[in-house]
Amino acid sequence: MTDFPTTTRRGPADPVKALMHRHRELCERAVDPLEIAAGLEAHGVTDRTAARFRHRDVFSLAEELYARVPRSAEIALPARELTHPAAGWALWSLLPGVVCLLAVTGVQLTTGGIRLAAGALGAAAFAVALTLTLRRGPLRAGPGARPVARLCAGWLMAYAVGGDGLLSDALRGGPDGLWALDPAAATGLAFSVAPAMWCAHLFSVQARKKLASSRGLADFSGRSRPLLLATVALFVGGLSACLAVAQLAHGSGAFAASVALGVLLWLARLLAAHGFSAAATKVLAAAAAAELLALATVFAGRLPGLTLLGRPVDAAVQIWGAGAVPAAVCGAAALALLARAAAVLARASAHCDQ
């Protein structure tokens, strides 16, 4: 009788079992295989990794994990309900625009100290309305949202309303009193909250559908990036319409700068809503610092021996106008955030909780 050599098999006979135990909490709370696939990707599992578990891609691996891990219906139901936001946010999205329009009208109809009080009260009411609106619907901030981002966004919006007038007066040796404000930028940006929320909702819904029909992480990434670009273009159209109507009502304003700022703020909030607040905060802080630096160099240039500091900004304003400064700053920042969004929002893990 011939003895055949025995081969020792290393590793578990069921390679998925170890992975199942390692990510058991993720599998138990998932409402569908897509959420497991997104969670696995967030933990570094790729299609190549899935091949080592005898699956063609992460989606196939997630389907087996979803089928093998028991879950409680009580746990899955609330998570599924979160994927369908209430329709009420659609009406809330109009609130910032209405409040801002009332505030601008109050400022235009008053004078002196009453005008200052109306402006301060209107700004506070707008801040409250915007905060309440963004706390619900598709643009509510995800985990890790940072207060610094709100401060920087507030400065950028304030500059859009009064920064160009202050810069123009400063270059002429002022300001000697109140400088010109831009009501068109204020109302146009305020009403653009509505298309911002609708476009964010559209992107989330369509990304979820593409995630459901994709058969691999690379497939989803290739389909989600064109979706993001199309959604950005759609928002730019809605934003431009809001600004155009505002300019017809209130007169001309810095249209290009307002468009650049609107896109920047929308991309920053979209990234924050999907859990990428760090990048949004850094870019907003850089843009706010650049605008503040432009104003500071003009005032510093009045000091003896520092005349050269204010000349670059002065030259830019002489050629392209005061709106060139925020347009260049916000435009560059928006492009940086768009590149970041195209990279991170193409991941399945960015949509696991949407």
pLDDT in tens, 46-61: 767 766 767 766 777 7
Q: Chain-centre distance of CA 314, in angstroms? A: 32
pLDDT grade for 220, boundaries at 50, 70 and 90: confident
pLDDT grade for 118, boundaries at 50, 70 and 90: confident
Q: Cα separations (Å) of 318 from 25, 154, 241, 287, 332?
A: 61, 27, 28, 22, 21
Q: What percent of the chain has pLDDT over 90?
A: 39
Across the chain, mean pLDDT equals: 82
Show the tokens assigned to 252: 């001309």
Is the overall model pTM greater than 0.85, yes or no?
A: no
Nearest to 294 by CA among 155, 146, 147, 187: 155
* Res. 3: pLDDT tops 50: no
For residues 118 and 104, give the distance between their C-alpha atoms in angstroms, rounded to a whole number.
Answer: 9
* 101-111: average pLDDT: 88
For residues 116 and 169, give the distance between their C-alpha atoms in angstroms, rounded to a whole number.
Answer: 19
* 35-39: average pLDDT: 71
pLDDT grade for 71, boundaries at 50, 70 and 90: low
Nearest to 211 by CA among 223, 199, 198: 223
In angstroms, how far apart are the furthest CA atoms of the chain?
111
Residue 177 is given by DSSP the state: S
Instruction: Judge whether 142 and 162 are in contact, CB under 8 Å.
Output: no
User: pLDDT tens, 259-316?
Assistant: 999 999 999 999 998 888 889 999 999 999 999 999 999 999 888 888 888 899 999 9
**Poorest-confidence range of 117-121, 122-126, 247-251, 279-283?**
247-251
Instruction: Judge whether 235 and 259 are in contact, CB under 8 Å.
Output: no
Q: How confident is the model at residue 253, as a pLDDT? A: 73
For residues 36 and 23, give the distance between their C-alpha atoms in angstroms, rounded to a whole number.
Answer: 9
User: pLDDT tens, 149-178?
Assistant: 999 999 999 999 998 999 988 888 888 777
Q: Which residue shows structure tokens 């619907």?
A: 137
Q: What percent of the chain has pLDDT over 70?
A: 76
- The domain limits of the chain are 15-81, 88-351
Q: How confident is the model at residue 34, as a pLDDT? A: 67
- Bond into 195 cis (ω within 30): no
Instruction: Look up residue 93 and give its amino acid.
Output: S
* 189-200: average pLDDT: 94
* Res. 147: pLDDT tops 90: no
* Res. 101: pLDDT tops 90: yes
Residue 216 is given by DSSP the state: S
